[in-house]
Amino acid sequence: MDLVKIEKKWQEIWEQNEVFKVKEILNKIKRYILPMFPYPSGKAHVGHVRNYTICDVIARFERSQGHNVLHAMGWDAFGLPAENAAMQNNTHPNSWVNSNVDVMKQQLKAIGLSYDWSREIITCSPQYYVHEQRFFLEMLKKGLVYQKESLVNWDPVDQTVLANEQVINGKGWRSGAIIEYRNLKQWFIKITNYADALLKGLDSLQSWPESVKTMQKKWIGQSKGINIDFQLKGIEASIKVFSTKPETLFGASFIALSYNHTLVQQYVNTTPEVQEFIDKCSNVGTSNVNIDKMSKLAVLTNLKVIHPLNSSIELPVILSNFVLMDYGTGALFGCPAHDERDHEIAKLLKLNIKQVITSTERNIDVLKEAYVGDGIMINSFHLNGLTTTEARQKVINELQHKNIGQQVTNYKLKDWGISRQRFWGCPIPIIHCKSCGAIPVPYEDLPVILPEHGVEFTGKGNPLDNHPSWKYVKCPKCHLDAVRETDTFDTFFESSWYFARFCNSTSDDMVDAKAAKYWLPVDQYIGGIEHAVMHLLYARFITRVMYDLKYIDIQEPFTSLITQGMVLHRTYQDQSNNWLYPNEVEVDSNGKLRCKADSQYVTVGKLEKMSKSKKNVVDLELVLKLYGADVARMFVLSDTPPEKDLEWSTEGIEGCYKFVQKLYNFALKLKNINLTDNKIDKVLLNKTHKTIKNVTQDIISCRLNKAIARLRELYNLIFKMSELTVQIKESFLILIRLFNPFIPHLSEEIWSLLSDRGEMLVELPWPKYEEKYIHEEEHITIAIQINGKLRSLYNCLIDTPEHDVQSAILKLEQVKKHIGDKEVRKCIFIPNKLINIIV
C-alpha cells in the first residue's frame, strides 16, 4: 500500500472536481469553519497539522450534514521576519513571502485540507490592504483615530513600537528583548470607546473557553470607584485619587503618585533619592500586565495632603512604581491594613498600618498581613459598626455632598497604538504638511503601496523613512511639498478583519454586504490561546467598529472558539550541550539514546513546545513521506483532547501507521472473498449504530480523540468476527464513512474498492443510526469454562477487553475452587461469548 500515492490521487480528483469550492446557495444552512491563518514563515510544521486537521474534520463533517460550508485559507503576510530575511538575503520581503507561501500551500494541500483555494487571500497584497487603508480613514472621520506623543514600548531588537498586549513580562512578544520606554508620536485607535461593550459582549459568547473570556475580562480590567480630591498641604492644588474602596479612607497611611505624574514636576523636590527613583522607573517602565510580579519600590517626597473627611489628619505623598499614570488618575491612597501592595509599601517605608475593617469569622493581625475581605468597620469615627458595603455608600455620598468626589468607571485597557517603525506593513494613509498638518490620503489615491525599488534594509531605522523618493509628495490640500507617514500598521490590524474578507475575497468593497450577511459570524474558530488578548480582542473590537460603520450586521465575529493545545517534543543535547534534532538521535541496543554523528550519549530534556531554537521540531515533509497525511492526521487527533497539549512520539505515529495498514488490508480481504449471508449478529448491529450515534456527538462536541477511539473499537469487533458476512461488510463500510473526516484519502480509496454506489465519500450524507438497534444496557453474560467444562457465568459490559475479563473471573470464589492449586497454562477468549481456562 503506497499511502502517498493514494493521497495524491484523491487530492487531484478533489481538485479537478472542485469538490470544496463553495457554492453560493444562500438559502441553505451555512457553516463557516475557520482556523487562524498562518504567518508564511517558511514551512508548515506538525503544530499546523494539528490545528488545521481539527478544523478540517469539523468542515468535512458539516458538509456531510448537508450544510453549505465555507472553509478557506489565507496568509498573514506582513511582519518583521520577512523584513529580517530581506536584510539577511539582500532581497525584497515580497519575494521571501511569496516563496514561502508557495511551499506552505503545497504542504497544506498535501495534508488533504478541504479548503476552497479560490478564496485565498494574502494580507501584503495591495488588493487586500487598500480596504484597510480606506477603513482607517473612515475611523479617522468618526473620531476613532488620533495621533499623539506618548511613552511607548520600544523593542530594541525589532526596532519598533509594541502595543501593551505585545509586551510579555517586560519583554517583546516576538524578540524576547527587554523593553525600553521612549516618547514617540504615534497613531492610536480608540478601543477604549468600546471597553464596556467588549466586556459585556463576553457574556454572549457561550461557546468560548472560560479561560479566554477571563483573560479578556482581566485585560479590559473594569474598576468602578470614585475620584477623590485630596488637598495638598500649603499649596493651592489638589491630587485627584481613584479608589475602589473609599470605605477604607480612615485607614489611609499615604498617597502614592506615579513617577511621571504632572504634580511631580510641579511640586516635588527632586532630592538625589527622588531623582534616582524617577530615573529607575523611566528606564524600566511599568505596565498593568506585569505590575503584580514586580518588586514594589517607593520613595517619600516633601509633600503632604489633608484627609478629605478629617482635616486634622495629614498623609505623606510618596512615589511608587505600582501606580500607573495611564490608569485611573495616576494616584491612589494607600491603606496598608487592607491591601497587599499597600502593606508591602508601608513595611518598606515604615509607615503606619491602621486596621479599619474587622472580620466576623476570624482573628486578624494586620501587622503581619493585609486583610482584604469584607466585614465591619472599626477605627473609622462615624462609620464604626457599619458593614463595608454600607460604609462605602455612606463615604461616597459624603464626598459627593462636599463636591470632592465623583463616581467613575475606569479600565486597564488602553487605546491601541498601531504605529510601527518598520517597512513590511500596510502604509498608514496620511500625508504630513507643514502648513496643513496631518492630511488623509484622498480615497482616489489609495492604495498607498510600498516601494519595490530603492529600499535598503540595514537594520538601522525605518527603510521607508530613509527611502530616497517614496515619502516625498505634494499636500492634497495646499499642494505644497509634504511627506508621507512612514510608520506602518501593527500587523494585528490585518488579522482583525480577514475573516470577513473570506465571505467574498474578490469584492470591490472591503466586505461584500450580501455575502457577509449570509456567512457571518464564523461558526467555529480554532487557534491558540496565546492570542486571547491580542488577535481575539482586536478582532472583536474591529467587528464592532465595522458594525457601527454599517459594513456588517453582527457585533461578535466568532460564535464558537476552540483553543487547541501545542504539540510538544522532548529536547536533546549532545555532550557539548548543543541542541540536536530528533532525527539526529538513535536508540542503541541497550535502549540508550546516542547521537548518530559521534555515538556519544545524549541528554534528554523535558517535553517542550516545538521550537527551531531548541531543534525539537519534527520535519513535516519527512513525516508525510514516511507515513502519509492520513496517518499524521490520525495521530495528532488520537489520544489527546484538542484543547490539551499533545506529545509527539514515534511510537504513537507508528501505531497509527500499523492501524491504517490493517484497515486497508481488511478491505482487500473483504473485496477478494465471497461473503456469507447468515443471520444478523445483534452485538455487531448494536455496536455499529451506537458508534454512529456516539461519534456524531463526539465530533459535534469536538471530542475527536474519543471519536477515533470508538471507531477503533468498532474495527476491533469487526476484525475479530469469526465469519465474514454481508453484515460485516456493511458495518465496515459504515466505519469507513465515519472515518472519512479523519483519514479522508484512505477512506475514499477503500470506499471505491468496496462500494458499488459510484459516489465519492465526500459527496455522501453522514450515516444515520436507528435507536431501535441500540441497547442502552450493554451487558452480556460470558460462559466460564475450565478445561472445556462450563463452571460458571460472568456478567460484564459488551466488548470488555480480554485482560479485564480474565483478571475479574480469576478472583471469583467459584472459579478459584475449581482451579485449586493447579497452574493456569493459558486462557482462550472469544469476545462477548466465553472464556476457557486451561489448567
CA distance 273 to 301: 9
The DSSP output letter for 641 is -
Terminal-to-terminal C-alpha distance of the chain: 43
Q: Which one, of 430, 452, 448, lies nearest residue 440 by Cα?
A: 430
The three-state secondary structure class of 437 is strand
686 phi, psi to nearest 5 deg: -60, -45
The three-state secondary structure class of 462 is coil
CA distance 105 to 114: 12
What is the DSSP secondary-structure string of 202-254? GGG-TBS-HHHHHHHHHHH-EEEEEEEEEEETTSS-EEEEEES-GGGGGG--E
Residue partners of 96: CB distance under 8 A and separation at least 6: 82, 85, 86, 89
Residue partners of 754: CB distance under 8 A and separation at least 6: 667, 670, 671, 729, 732, 733, 736
Per-residue 3-state assignment (H helix, E strand, C coil) for 589-612: CCCCEEECCCCCECEEEEEEECCC
**Cell matching residue 78:** 506582513
Q: Do residues 314 and 303 lie in contact, with contact meaning Cβ atoms separated by under 8 Å?
A: no
CA distance 386 to 170: 42
Residue 595: beta bridge partners? 585
Which ranges in 641-762 belong to alpha helices (H)? 650-671, 682-700, 704-720, 726-739, 744-754
Q: Quick check: bond before 447 cis, omega within 30?
A: yes
What is the DSSP secondary-structure string of 250-310? GG--EEEE-TT-HHHHHH----HHHHHHHHHHHHH---TTTGGGSPP-EEEEEEEEE-TT-
791 phi, psi to nearest 5 deg: -120, -25
**Cell matching residue 727:** 453484515
Q: Do residues 799 and 832 lie in contact, with contact meaning Cβ atoms separated by under 8 Å?
A: yes
Q: Which one, of 769, 767, 751, 771, lies nearest residue 759 by Cα?
A: 751
CA distance 626 to 624: 6
Sign of CA dihedral 674, 678, 684, 685: positive
CA distance 723 to 52: 40
The DSSP output letter for 178 is B
Q: Do residues 415 and 190 lie in contact, with contact meaning Cβ atoms separated by under 8 Å?
A: yes
CA distance 281 to 303: 20
Q: Quick check: bond before 642 cis, omega within 30?
A: no
**612 assigned to a ligand binding site:** yes
CA distance 267 to 278: 14
Residue 189: beta bridge partners? 145, 416
Q: Which residue numbers belong to the known binding site for ATP?
A: 612
